Amino acid sequence: MKRKPKIIYAGNYSKGKGYPRANVLLEGLKKNCDLKEIYYPLWKENEDKEKNVKKPYKKIIPFLKSIFFFLKNAEELKSADAVIVGFPGYFEIFVFKFIKLITGADFPIFFDYFFSLYESLVFERKVVKENSFLAKFLYFFDKAGLLTADKVLIDTENHRDFIAEMFGIEKEKFVVIPVGESEEYFSFLPYPKEKNPFTVVFFGTFLNLHGIDKIKEAVKLLENEEIRFILIGRGKNDTLFKSEKFKNLEFINDFLPPEKLKKYIEKSHVVLGIFGENKRAGIVIPCKIYDALACGRPVITGKTPASRTMFENLEFVILCKNSPEKIAKSIKKLSSIPQKNLEELGKKAYKYYKENFSPESVTLKLLKEIKNDKQRKR
């Protein structure tokens, strides 16, 4: 009987509700290999990681404890065909490299680099000033982690190209693995039997990359149509919807767990993606798109390099220019499609999810890369 590869998924990674990256990889790997988790929870549930980045001394003792924990598992790590350092593994990547060196092990280290700490805190969220000492430290810290890994997992080709250029690292070091979604949290939902009103759902953290200002104007443009919007979530840009009243909008200013969020997706005819203009918006695919496809819902999202690479020419993912007028036009056009055709779009969306973004399909490519890496070393 052929031996299954032994994969160790290690670190202080975030998993469970709201963390599809680890959920998808863990679920898919459990079905296709001998999986062992070596997990140390450095972060408490719902802890604000951004605030702690500015006060790293608060994590010194927990981090030291985690090092001893991982060292105690050195023998287990030595027996692995590959070690995947789960996100966020910015510190742990160095720990596992150290263990590899002192034990003389030859397991390849795959670093799940979901996003750049430097780019996120300095440019996207702007909680660290550009060119400050902390910003420069984050840059070199990020780059050192990337160089330490044998391979780096990243979610899109465009994100890979951006990170490779920003840090001066060869593209061949990266393995592109889409985020996907687990049906434990988001699964197929029957399409609404009626479309009066035609219901549009958006959910998220209202970041700049979401293009919330454009969504707001699109809501206004469709105020007199038989189209209803449901917006769910909170964040720094949610004030755009608190300051005005909209007769065609239901605004739920809170984070909802998947089981509650699904009840609103079930009412929807289409889910909105992102329409931001910043760099991040152009190179990533937001989790909400995978969630929507897993639920069998078509998506309208901005036409970006990443969305074009992954979804161009798919009728159930409508790519439009990042303007309120184009968003409104795309929604109105979709709402005019016969009910039966809309239901078919939903089925096609789910089928595409199963074939490309389910845990099984996502991890097959990763396992293939692990196998190829092993063969290259022979």
For the domain made up of 198-356, the CATH class stated in words is: alpha beta
Tell me the three state secondary structure of residue 263. helix
pLDDT above 90: residue 1: no
Count Cβ atoms within 10 A of the Cβ of residue 54 and give its class: 0-12 exposed, 13-18 middle, 19 or more buried: exposed
pLDDT at 44 (0 to 100): 63
The set of residues, in sequence order, having a beta carbon less than 8 Å from that of 112 and lying 6+ positions away, is 13, 21, 22, 25, 84, 85, 86, 87, 89, 153
pLDDT at 311 (0 to 100): 96
pLDDT one-digit tens code per residue, 18-41: 889 999 999 999 998 999 999 998
Whether 6-180+358-376 and 198-356 share one fold: the answer is: yes
pLDDT above 80: residue 10: yes
pLDDT at 241 (0 to 100): 80
CA distance 321 to 327: 7
pLDDT one-digit tens code per residue, 308-325: 999 999 999 999 999 999
pLDDT above 60: residue 266: yes
pLDDT band for 51, please (50, 70, 90 cuts): low
50-64 average pLDDT score: 65
Contact by Cβ (8 Å): 347, 59: no
The sheet that has 174-176: what strands, in order across it?
Answer: 34-39, 6-11, 82-85, 109-112, 151-154, 174-176
Report domain extents, the chain.
Answer: 6-180+358-376, 198-356
Neighbouring C-alpha atoms within 13 Å toward the C-beta of 55: 5
Higher-pLDDT residue of 246, 333: 333
59-70 average pLDDT score: 86
pLDDT above 90: residue 63: no
Q: Going by CATH, does the domain composed of 6-180+358-376 fall within 3.40.50.2000? A: yes
pLDDT above 70: residue 152: yes
Top-ranked range on mean pLDDT: pick from 47-56, 199-208, 303-312: 303-312
254-272 average pLDDT score: 95
pLDDT above 80: residue 60: no
Mean predicted lDDT score pLDDT of the chain: 90
227-252 average pLDDT score: 86
Higher-pLDDT residue of 205, 163: 163
Contact by Cβ (8 Å): 159, 348: no
The angle, 0 to 180 degrees and rounded to 10, between the axes of the packed helices 20-32 and 287-294 is 60
pLDDT band for 174, please (50, 70, 90 cuts): very high
pLDDT at 218 (0 to 100): 94
pLDDT one-digit tens code per residue, 77-107: 999 999 999 998 998 999 999 999 999 998 9
Neighbouring C-alpha atoms within 13 Å toward the C-beta of 232: 20
pLDDT one-digit tens code per residue, 327-370: 999 999 999 999 999 999 999 999 999 999 999 999 998 998 88
The set of residues, in sequence order, having a beta carbon less than 8 Å from that of 180 and lying 6+ positions away, is 20, 24, 290, 356, 357, 358, 359, 361, 362
